[in-house]
Each structure stands twice: as C-alpha cells, then as structure tokens.
Structure 1
Amino acid sequence: MGGRSAGLLLLVVTTAGWALNWPGMKILLREWPPLASRGVAGVVAGLILAALAWRAGEKLSVPREAVPRLLFATFTNVVAWMGFGTLCMVWLRVSEGALLIYSMALWATLLAWPLLGTPPTLRQGAALVLGFGGIGVLLGGDGFSLGAEKLPGILFALGAAVFFALGAVLNRKPLPISPMTSAAWQVGLGCLPMLAWGFLVERPSWGDLTPAGWGVLIYMTLVPMGLCYVTWFETLRRLPPQTAATGTLLVPLFGVISAAVWIGEPLGWREAVAMALVLGGVTLALRKA
C-alpha cells in the first residue's frame, strides 16, 4: 500500500476512533462524573504513550527551556480541549457539543488577526459567515432562549474551541521533542489534575460502573487517547497537514450520526443544516489560499 493510501486509511481509523468517543462519553457520564472519567483514561493513556515512545527509542526528557511552552500546550490541547470538551457533554447533546468545539478553525482565523497581524481574506471571511451562521442555526432552535440548563455546556464548548484555537495560533514553533513524547507529556500532565479533582471532589465509585461503562472507559483509554494518537502521527507523516486537518472534519460528522443511531439523539433538519454550514465554513478556513 502506497504512502498516500496508507495515510488515508490511517486518517479514517483516527477520525472513526475519535468520533465514536462522543456517544461513548454520553453513555459513561450516566454512570461516572466527567473529570474523573477523563482523568482516569488520560493518565493511563499518557503512560501507554510514554511506554510506546520509550520502546521506539525516543527520549522522554524535556529541555528546560521548552517546559513553559509544553505547559501552555498542555493547557490548550488537553485541559481546555479535553477537559472543557468533556464537561460540556453534561449539558449538551453530541450534535451541539461536537459542532461548537469543531468551530476551532474559525476562532483561529479570528485570533490570528490581532495576535499575528493577519486579517481574514475574502475566502476566510466567507468561512466565518458560514461557520457562525451554522452555530446560530444550531443554537437558535428555541429562538435563542438559552436557558440555564444549557448555558454552562455552551460556554465550556466554546471555551474548548477558543483555547484550542489560541494554542494553534501561538504554538506554531514545534517543541524540541518527538511528537509521541510530546503527546505523552501533554495527555498525562493535562489529565492528572482532572484525575485528582475527580477523586477528591466528584468522588466516583468503581461499583457504579456497569459493563457498558467499563467498556466505554477502556475504549476511551486505549483507542481515542492511545491508538488514535499513534495513527494521527503516522497520518501526518504520509499526508499533507492541510489534508489531514480537513479530514478531521469527519469526527463531528461521524460522532453526530453515531449518537443518533446508538443513543437516540435527535438528528433533524436543524442539526443537518447546522452541520453543513459549520463544516463548510471550517473546510474553507482550512484550505490554502
């Protein structure tokens, strides 16, 4: 199998693994609190990634001058992206959470203007109109009467998208460590405070987990936070970054459809229109001029 064909196959594996985590999280949150769920899975996954990096002969040490950048990347890529993204699912449906979070390319376009001095082009402006129009359709189902029952989830989802976009804008220089080592440190360090908060404040009980809950917890540890990071790095080796980034738009698409099939979440015309607008806008934002 050629490099491009293998890259496309790995991209499908990556996006499918990440997408199925969305309905899985909704199932797990019926039995366990959010930060404990993400913390357990993330810390174990971080150790697995570190073991894989060590086995591949990669150095696990981080140069002292790179530690502040690693900590900032950990906050934007893990604490905000994974932590806030998990918390939002307590209040939102998968379709709402996934589409709001995957608007991050739109926010990156906006943040690059004041931070990097690169105003949006005409194409990027059209992307912003499409993307935020889709968000308006999604949130406007009740005439924009956002009640207290959904507002925290919306804020957490937008926080995940905005902080991840901020990291994408400011973390442009690669860290002086291998991608696998970087992922191991970021996932492990970022999920460690979630684990501590979960067991000190949320106080989950292992006995509350049903076989389905255990299955989702194991899946979340091994596939989205373990295998998918490995396949993602291999994807980036074989495909142009722009192609790989655009391919990740399959994640919310697959996630919303699987949530409708597995847990019976509504998938009507409003969700379909919002999905088309948001993903269309993000696609435009990711395309090269």
Structure 2
Amino acid sequence: MTASHDSRATSQVAAGGLVFLLITSVGWGLNWPIMKYVLREWPPLSTRGTTGVIGSLLLVVIALVIGQSLRVPREQWGRLVMFAAFNVSAWMALMGLALLWLPASEAAVIAYTMPVLASLLAWPVLGERLTALKTLSLLLGIGGIGALMGGNGLAASMEKLPGILLALTGAFLFALGTVLGKRFPLKLPVITSAAWQIMIGCLPVAVIGLALEHPRVSALSSTGWLLMSYLIVVQFCVAYVSWFAALRRLPASVAAIGTLLVPVIGVVASAIMLGEPLGAGQVTALLMTVAGVVLATRS
C-alpha cells in the first residue's frame, strides 16, 4: 500500500514537472522574437535588466500576498548569488547581446545547445547516467536543431562570430547553473527563490545598461510597451517560476532536454512575427524535437 502510494505521488510530481516545463518552453520560445522586436526601440542590457528587476518586484508582491516568506537563511546566500549569476545574469546579458549579431531564430537555436551541455554535466556532477533512452532523445533533439539550422541557412560567418560565442557561453553557464541547482538545492519556496534570483541577477545588468546605453523611455512605441510587459510578466514571473518548479520535480537532464522545444517555438514564432526565413526543415525539426522530448520524459 505504501509502495503504491509512493509510486502515485512520484508520478504526480513528475506530471506536474512536465506541465511546468511546457509552460516554460512556450514562454521562453515566444520571448525570442519579442525580444528581437523590442531591441529595435531599446538597447539589450537595459531591456533585460529593467524588465527583470520589475518582474522580481512583482514576484515579491505575489509572495507577500500568498504568505510566502522572503527570508533567506544566512547559509543559503552564497548559493543564491551563484545561481543568480549563472541562471539569470549571464543568460540575460549574453543572450541579449547575442541578438545584436544574430537573427532571433539563429540565437534561439544556438542557445539551446544548453540541454546537451546540461545532460553531459549531470553525469559527473549528479550521477544521472546517459541511458540509451536519454542518448536517443538527445540525438533526436540535436537532429532537430540541425534541421532548424539547415532550414534557416545558418551561416557561421565572421560577422556573426561574436553573437555565436556569446550565445554558446550563455548556454554553458545556464547548463552549469541547472546542474549545480540540483546538486546544491536552495531551501526556499519557489516564488521566493525566483524573486531573489531574478532581482540579484538582473540588478547589475540593469545598472550597467542604464549607465552605458542611456535608453529613452520616449523611444518605446505602444507595441514596445506591450511587449515589455510580456517580458516582465511572462518571461520572468511565469516562465522562470515554472522553470524552477520543473527543476525541483524532474531530473536535471530530463528538464534540460525538455527545453529543446524552446528553439522550435522560437523559430516558428520568429517566422510568423518577424518574417524571418522559415525553411522546409522546420516540420522535420519539430517532429524530431518533440520526439526527443517525449523520449526524455519517458526516461
């Protein structure tokens, strides 16, 4: 009876993790073309940092309303700052800057080498072995990424090299933060954890951006304001909280592989919203990537 109850409880936790993972993937996937559009009106560091700080303040309000404590035990601060640097600061700053050299679709594809890196790091750090099923899911996901690259004619030219290097570095640091987050978990409520990580991670990005880029509020159109609101509410409040919730419920490698849906959503959304190239490889990529994600969840 106890074993059956534990099995049902584990299944419910995993199912909840997958729901949170899907919410994250959709939120982050749509973020790529939205961010690319906003960059026409506002500079990257100011956009990322400012929307993140406002999003974290909104999460603080939500935490207080629902009665979650914002207190962080003294021994947790070191981990909190480290995860904020890897999961938020590096990702926000480097990916925002990468969009200056790359189309949104190409930046999304390169950024999501993260699941491969996270799966490889999870083996020595967490002991999550690359089983045959996980390996197959990764291969399908990588194949989907390759189809996306082929469909968009990704050209690793010297002009794009800074953007490619920035995106790869951001992907590696996010993967490292994901694995270390499982190895040294924060003992905080999910919303509290997200609020502090986003605040600590985005505040320096915002300060540097406002100091160096000198953005003008008057430069934002009505569409720009609407999309900035999306970045605040969906990217930071909804998607980040869902990501941390998914990571608590799923193995790090499975959660990371699940995010392979993000570049597919990003590429398709970029084609619809921005008119970026949509090659014949997109359908193949979608099928391969979804198949890889399904296999990862089965593992």
Moved more, 94-103 or 68-77: 94-103
Q: Tell me which of 120, 132, 136 is aligned to 2:130.
A: 120
Aligned to 1:48: 58
Range with greater deviation from structure 2 (119-128 or 50-59)? 119-128
Alignment match, 1:91: 101
CA-based RMSD of the aligned residues comes to 3.6
Contact kept? 1:23, 1:255, Cα under 8 Å: yes
Deviations 1:195-248 (A, max 9, x none): 111111112122221222222112211222124445667778999999877665
2:233 to 210, 222, 240: 222
The amino acid that maps onto 1:219 is Y
Give the stretch that moved more between structures: 67-76 or 100-109.
100-109
Paired with 1:135 and 1:8, the residues of 2 have a C-alpha distance of: 21
Pairing 1:107–2:95 present = no
- In structure 2, the residue matched to 1:58 is 68
CA distance in 2, matches of 1:167, 1:113: 14
- Percent identical among aligned pairs is 46
Equivalent residue pairs, number: 287
- 4+ residue runs of structure 1 moved beyond 6 angstroms? 2-11, 140-144, 233-246
Paired position in structure 2 for 1:185: 196
Q: Residue 249 of structure 1: CA displacement?
A: 4.3
- Which structure 2 residues correspond to residues 1-289 of structure 1 after superposition, within 5 A? 14-116=24-126, 120-136=130-146, 146-172=156-182, 173-229=184-240, 248-274=259-285, 276-277=287-288, 280-281=291-292, 284=295, 286-287=296-297, 289=299
CA 1:20/1:188 → structure 2, altered by over 3 Å: closer, same or farther? same
The Cα shift of 1:147 comes to: 1.7
Contact 2:53 2:199 in 1 (8 A): yes
TM-score, with structure 1 as normaliser: 0.82
- 1:188 to partner: Cα distance: 0.8
Q: Is the 8 A contact 1:106 1:127 kept in 2?
A: no
Letter in 2 for 1:201: L
Map of 2:3 onto structure 1:
none
Stretches of structure 2 lacking an aligned partner (at least 5 in a row): 1-11
Deviation at 1:104, TM superposition (A): 1.7
Report the AA paired with residue 63 of structure 1: P
**Residues 242 and 287 of structure 1 are in contact (CA less than 8 Å); yes or no, is this contact kept in structure 2?**
no
Deviation at 1:40, TM superposition (A): 0.8
SS at match of 2:42: coil
The Cα offsets for residues 59-104 of structure 1, whole Å up to 9 and x where unpaired, read as 1121111111111110121012232222222222222222222232
Q: One-letter code of the match for 2:101? A: W
Find the aligned partners of 2:147 and 2:264 in 1 and give their Cα distance.
16
Runs (5+) with no aligned partner, structure 1: none
Shift of 1:135: 4.6
Counterpart of 1:44, as a letter, is I
Instruction: Give, in angstroms, the shift of residue 287 of structure 1.
Output: 3.6
Alpha-carbon spacing, 1:48–1:84, altered in 2? closer, same or farther (3 Å): same
- Corresponding letter in the other structure for 1:159: T
Distance in 2 (CA, whole Å) between partners of 1:288 and 1:134 is 19
Q: Is the 8 A contact 1:106 1:282 kept in 2?
A: no
Matched position secondary structure for 1:171: helix
